[in-house]
Homo-oligomer: A and B are copies of this chain.
Amino acid sequence: MLDVSLVGTGGMVPMPKRFLSSMIARLNGRMLLVDCGEGTQVSLKNLGWGFKTIDAILFTHYHADHISGLPGMLHAINNTGREEPLKLIGPKGLVIVVDALRVIAPELNFDVEYIVLDEEQNKFFVSDIEIDYIFVEHSVKCVAYKFEVYRKGQFQVEKARALNLPKNLWGKIQKEGKAIFEGKEYTEDMVLGEPRRGIKVSYCTDSRPVKRLVDFAKNSDLFVCEGMYGEDEKLQKAKENKHMVFSEAAKIAKEADVKELWLTHFSPSLNDPEHFIKNATDIFSNTKVGYDNMTTNILFKD
């Protein structure tokens, strides 16, 4: 099970009832945070998942509303007594920006490790979550992220029997991935069926609706996407500021055939995003308007 929560859903400016866009994902008690604007720690406190097991903070880009909360977040994590390293992940510029902001968070009890994303880099794992990314189209270099949890195939009794593997090792090979019997090593791929469908969550702010987002988000269980403006009449403004209107996010969700779309990163001028939901649901019916601390638990399907 992957738990996902929107820590904040606002764009540009943190507001009394809407903190800046951020998402957190939790698997087996370990967490990844995406973006960390001013006030993210406050909303995260409301959520109640704690700070200690945040293993990575991923940045889409370095506009202030996506990273201004980092010094405070580092202090909050430090206050938990964490000593394990923390990964900071983002496109080029990461080290310069973080180094500068740490003028007010110089002393931490844990190491900070950087993963700078470039065009060539492949997917990688943090904790048990595989992280993939693509570059999207904003006014500065900006990435969209995909989080994937894999699920092994089912144990195949007939395969184990055909190998003459004794029953008392069946549990061990599933748990530890291998077992030794009569001097020979048996690995799990010898006794498991085809890998089963896992869990896939995609996240994109801030960007225009580029074509490659469709392939990237393909078949996601959850696609969290910016919808800076609700009405199509704001399309020109969205183009100028390199953002999307609701209907554009819905179109990506539809073409990518995702299970569910959550809209986020609302303009401060968008008082009631729910008012414009039809602009999205007319195109992709399973769209929800995000709100701070909106949470879901995504289960493996059987």
User: Are A64 and B105 closer than 8 Å at their CB atoms?
Assistant: yes
| Copies of this chain in its oligomeric complex | 2
Bound-complex Cα distance A125 to B46 (A)? 41
A41 at the interface (CB under 8 A from B): yes
> Would you list which residues of chain A between 11 and 68 have a CB under 8 Å from chain B?
12-16, 37-39, 41-42, 45-46, 62-65, 67-68
> Would you list which residues of chain A between 60 and 116 have a CB under 8 Å from chain B?
62-65, 67-69, 71-72, 75-76, 79, 96-97, 100-101, 103-105
Most buried by B among A13, A42, A101: A42
Chain B residues in 8 Å Cβ range of A105: 64
Q: Look across to chain B and name the residue whose beta carbon is closest to the beta carbon of A105.
A: B64
Bound-complex Cα distance A68 to B103 (A)? 10
User: Are B101 and A38 closer than 8 Å at their CB atoms?
Assistant: no
Contact residue among B16, B42, B62, B104 (Cβ-Cβ distance under 8 Å from A104):
B62
Chain B residues in 8 Å Cβ range of A69: 38, 68
Bound-complex Cα distance A16 to B46 (A)? 7
- Taking the closest CB of chain B, its distance from the CB of A153, in whole angstroms, is 44
User: Are B101 and A103 closer than 8 Å at their CB atoms?
Assistant: yes
Chain B residues in 8 Å Cβ range of A46: 16
- Taking the closest CB of chain B, its distance from the CB of A189, in whole angstroms, is 47
- Taking the closest CB of chain B, its distance from the CB of A187, in whole angstroms, is 48
Bound-complex Cα distance A13 to B46 (A)? 13
Known: A12-B75, A16-B42, A38-B41. 5 other contacts (CB 8 A): A13-B75, A14-B39, A38-B69, A39-B42, A68-B68
Interface residues of A (CB under 8 A from B): 12-16, 37-39, 41-42, 45-46, 62-65, 67-69, 71-72, 75-76, 79, 96-97, 100-101, 103-105
- Among all A-B residue pairs, the 7 with the closest Cβ atoms: A100-B103, A64-B104, A38-B72, A100-B100, A64-B71, A14-B42, A39-B39
List 23 contacting pairs A-B, 8 Å CB cutoff, sorted by A: A13-B41, A13-B79, A14-B41, A14-B72, A15-B42, A16-B42, A16-B45, A38-B42, A38-B71, A38-B72, A63-B104, A64-B71, A65-B72, A65-B75, A68-B68, A68-B69, A68-B71, A96-B103, A97-B103, A97-B104, A100-B101, A100-B103, A100-B104
